[in-house]
Structure 1
Amino acid sequence: MQYLEEIEKYIGVIQKYDDVPNYFLNILRDIKKENSEKTPMKVGIIGDEFYGLYVRSYGLTPVFLKGGSYITGENASHIFPQISDPIAKSAVGLLLDSELNLAEELGAIIISASNDSFKKAMVYLKDLNLNIIQVEPPSYMFEKMPFKFISTQLQLLNSISKLTNTVFNIEVLKTEIKCYQDAYALMTSSKWQSLPIFLQSFFLQTLHMDEDKDFWLIEMEKYLSLKTETSNNNSDKFSLRLAGSEIHIPNSKFHEILFEVGITHYKDTCVGLVDFSKVKLNTNAFNLIKNCFAAYYNHLFTTKNINLTGQFNFLEDTQGIIFYLLKGQTTDSYTAERMEEFALKADIPFLCIETDYTDTDKEQIRIRVEAFYEMISGNLSKKPKLKVG
């Protein structure tokens, strides 16, 4: 099965759960959109959707290279046998996929060098004469945004500026930020919250990928207007938490398992949208960009430091934790150990599932998750509902 077939399989899973409009499904298929003379230069992004804001502000087209494919990971195994990170393997394998020919189409590839696997892969890609823009992620150890983070982001903007003759368009950035603000507000609505988390995650990914976010908002509001708020699990949706490694498209195994077991509403701390609500659009370009940096840093600080003592406030309203651990993610493995320690001290049931992108262990995982959910369901019926923070 090739990558495009994997995408179609993923779409089939989505359609099995809900009658999702083709508008959103076609966004996933657009990775194969043919170039034309009027198409702006495409820039690949591995590691962070946020950088799409920069790329679009320079009039370029971002292409998000997700690391959720077993097939593309296997295609790259013979090139990178020493790389243990399946996300790095899959994303780079997607880049080198002969069916998509992205290596020839992309003018540059932005890669967040989050571990040694990505650094090794970049050496190979540079030897292929691909234009690699490397971003060194900060440690996110300081609650207040450090100057080093600002410097890193400005360096990235400078690198992108060298790809084109156009200047940074602050109006494009304002439009993108306004759409993200509106989307963030929309995602707090009761109808959005009543959607199964699997669908919420899917729609969030399409938001990042859509070139016309204004139209995305129109279509999403239209879609939500047809939904009824009749979720049987709505009252319990925040009592169970999913934490750990991010689940990348087109991998749907773990979401499918949760859905099959009957777990449709929970708090997914693996993904989220940057909160730009405090970013004022009626300000000068420097302050707007700086405030965007701050919102982005605050989002990353919260998610990256979930293993620190002071960042476990969410445990107060949690009555069960499932930790999704993708093999090869050493940082997530450490986080799982730390989180389990805190969970045990707080007397909160904790289940860690270590897996990969294959379906070979799907039945075993389903049995474990089902048993865990049956256990905490009994506990939920005895415990008073805790206030969601």
Structure 2
Amino acid sequence: MDISMIKHEENIKKFIEKVKLDKTAARNIDYFTQLLIDHHVRFKNISKNDICIFGVSIPEEFIRALDLNPLWVLGGSFHMGTSVSDTLPRDVDPVVRSAYGMYKAIVQETKNTLNAIIPYQNDSFRKLSWIMKTEGTVVHEFDLPSIKDMNVLSEVYKNNVNKLIKDLENTYKRELKAYKLFAAQREINSAKAAIFELIQLNNEKPNLLSAEVLFLIMSAYYSTPNLKEYEKQVKKVIKEMYARQNQAVVDKPQLLVIGSPMFFPNNKIISMIEELGAEMKFYNNEISMFFEVNEIQGGESLNDMIEEICNCYYKRNYMPLNIIEQKSLNMEVLGTQGVLFHILKGEVVYDYELLKLEKLFKEKEIPVFRIETDYSPEDKEQLKIRIEAFIEMLRHSKLT
């Protein structure tokens, strides 16, 4: 095991131990922490039907309906990125660098050959795809439109999804069936509905779960080999939260974080916000919107079902503006005192939304503060000073 993998494991275990000692941690927190350890460190539950998926822009309904298991490779680890520093060009962004590091670790540790789905979201993903192809990996490409406020691009997205489905059918010699797609969609929706209920409950009663605990539970979704068991465990947490909801609530500045998603183990900003005495709102942001339910009707044709799922993903993924606009009158947004617009270096696609979001929140007299960072711990103190000043400003404005 190389030094990067050792540090990666140490970092994850350190965060997990911190969460387990958190006074708000659910009684069954060990279930979720074990999932993350198995997925990110032990690389357990790998099978011949696993396919690596880079990012969350690929509708998992189609993957599961083809009897494939999505093996999520989402980045988030500084040390996984450093493990491939000599392999990738220097301008590859930290998300892609980290995800590739994890992919390489999985392949090396398990001795498995794993196909991959790579969304062409930016140049970094395109470079990664080329490198992996030269290494002999079977790469299924998915061209993801960068800008999503034009109707014509939604048709491009649907066409690209259909191309991906055909590619997977040809590679795995399987045919996508309507009944299997409907069953996969129901199972995914059921698990996501449980997470979303937990998010909403925690926002209605802040401090039932700390942001770190909730982040860990949500992250475990992308590590579970069994969605039904995961859903069962999330419902246990919900039941426990309802029993706790009469506890005293500490009044803290409410901070909405949007922009680049933060996936485990990238807890840098989440932990910082809590340590500085603010409450991070998970509802209506880029992280939580992946868990909104995509409802489709049973009995429709396969093409109709595919189109409905595409519409749900197209409107939601990488589109914080759409989500905020659709729910701009909700108390979850209006009750927010400030917005932290979080950008991971190199993820230019998210910056397309900034000017529109600033205008929207300015009309509601909600300040927006942009920060750009990566997975490195080197800028923690600088970020802490800037975020602390923003939180103090929110606290002062609340008093006045």
TM-score with structure 2 length normalisation?
Answer: 0.82
Structure 2 CA distance for aligned equivalents of residues 319 and 325 of structure 1: 20
- Tell me, in whole angstroms, the C-alpha distance in 2 between the residues paired with 1:179 and 1:236: 36
**In 1, Cα distance between equivalents of 2:282 and 2:385:** 21
Residue 43 of structure 1 is matched in structure 2 by 51
Residue-by-residue CA offset, 1:134-176 (whole Å, 9 max, x unaligned): 1100232235873322211111111111232343354443333
**Partners of 1:274 and 1:295 within 8 A in 2:** no
1:160–1:342 Cα change, 3 Å = same
Q: How does 1:217-366 map to 2 (within 5 A)?
A: 217-227=231-241, 228-230=244-246, 239-267=254-282, 269-271=285-287, 272-276=289-293, 278-300=295-317, 302-303=319-320, 313=328, 318-336=336-354, 339-340=357-358, 343=361, 347-366=365-384
**Residue of structure 1 in register with 2:197 after alignment:** 188
Paired residue for 2:158? Answer: 150
Distance in 1 (alpha carbons) for counterparts of 2:87 and 2:71:
23
User: Structure 1 pair 103/151, CA: closer, same or farther in 2 (3 Å)?
Assistant: farther
Note if contact 2:75-2:98 (Cα within 8 Å) is conserved in structure 1. yes
Instruction: Count the aligned residue pairs.
Output: 376
- The SS at the match of 1:168 is coil
Aligned to 2:212: 198
Which of 136, 139, 149 lines up with 1:141 in the alignment?
149
Superposed CA RMSD in Å reads: 3.2
Match of 2:181 among 168, 173, 186: 173
Q: Given residue 377 of structure 2, which amino acid in structure 1 is its aligned partner? A: D
Q: Secondary structure at the match of 1:240?
A: strand
Secondary structure of 1:76's counterpart equals coil
Aligned counterpart for 2:226 among listed residues 212, 215, 225: 212
The aligned amino acid for 1:256 is S
CA distance in 1, matches of 2:326, 2:126: 29
Identity, % of aligned positions: 22
Aligned-residue offset at 1:127: 0.7
Whether the aligned pair in 2 keeps the contact of 1:244 and 1:270 (CA below 8 Å) is: yes
**Offset at 1:311?**
7.7
Instruction: Give per-residue Cα distances to partners, 1:252-276, cap 9 Å, x unaligned.
Output: 1111111111223424512123543
Q: Which moved more, 1:121-130 or 1:370-379?
A: 370-379
- Asked if the contact 2:45/2:225 (under 8 Å) is kept, the reply is no
Q: What residue identity is the alignment partner of 1:229?
A: Q
- Contact between 1:326 and 1:355, CA under 8 Å: does it hold in 2? yes
Pair 199,142 (structure 1): closer, same or farther in 2 beyond 3 Å: farther
1:290 & 1:143 partners in 2: Cα distance?
Answer: 14
**Residue aligning to 1:10:** 15
Mapped pair 1:160 → 2:168 = yes
CA distance in structure 2 between the partners assigned to 1:69 and 1:362 by the alignment:
15
1:113 corresponds in structure 2 to 120
- For 1:298, the aligned partner's letter is K
Q: Does the CA contact (< 8 Å) of 1:73 and 1:91 recur in 2?
A: yes
Please list every run of 5 or more consecutive structure 1 residues that lacks an aligned counterpart in the other structure: 383-389
TM-score computed with the length of structure 1 as normaliser: 0.84
Shift of residue 297, structure 1, vs aligned partner: 1.7
- The answer for unaligned runs of 5 or more in structure 2 is none
1:50 deviation in Å? Answer: 4.3
Name the structure 2 match of 1:79.
Answer: 87
